[in-house]
Amino acid sequence: MMTPKLLLTVLKTYTTAMAPGAFEHFDAEAIETVYAAVSSSNNCEMCLSFHAMGMGQTLSPEDCKLIVDGGLPTQNERARTIAIAAKYAICHKGLLLEREQQYLESMGVSKEMYGEILFLCGQIHANNMLMVYLIQQGVAVEEMLQAVGPFASTVYAKKE
């Protein structure tokens, strides 16, 4: 349900962001955490299921579930910090309250790092909007997504 050019742009944006060295402060694991935290805030089940697969490669199942459910990971401190920063970014559209900035700085999040988080949050927010629209329009859910994340317990769950 996407035009070929839109699909190509979405895929290029994702693969470019995930490429080694694309960001100073983030690797693919950290980016998946940002994407999942934002997708949870936006309640985008398709993106959440996709990013749950990505996080499942490096985070514990418990931490993945916590992020997908809108919470914060408890076992991986770096993922917890990244999720908090992403939630602040999406909550205030990029602005930080002074106490939030101080809290992030106390966890090692510099202004430059937060800038990268803002960019990543904006990218996934746009994708979330598109995917929520596509689901609403009845797009088929890929089989690989039907067994992970929120889709595993919805009407889209993989049927045996």
Token code pair at residue 14:
């994702």
pLDDT of residue 155: 57
Residues 89-119 pLDDT 10s: 998 888 999 999 999 999 999 999 999 999 9
- pLDDT of 158 higher than 70: no
Record the pTM. 0.86
Q: How far apart are CA 129 and CA 22, in angstroms?
A: 24
pLDDT at position 76, please? 95
Q: Do 84 and 30 form a contact (C-beta atoms < 8 A)?
A: no
**What is the Cα 36 distance to its own chain's centre?**
3
pLDDT at 157: 59
CA-based torsion, 18, 20, 24, 26: positive or negative: positive
Tell me: the pLDDT tens digits for 81-90? 999 999 999 9
Residue 63 CB contacts under 8 Å (≥ 6 apart), including other chains: 55, 73, 74, 75, 76, 79
Collapsed DSSP state (helix, strand, coil) of residue 59: coil
pLDDT in tens, 49-77: 888 888 878 899 999 999 999 999 999 99
Per-residue pLDDT tens digits for 130-142: 988 988 888 877 7
Q: Which of 45, 65, 115, 123 is nearest to 85 (CA)?
A: 115
Q: In whole angstroms, what is the distance from residue 96 CA to residue 50 CA? A: 28
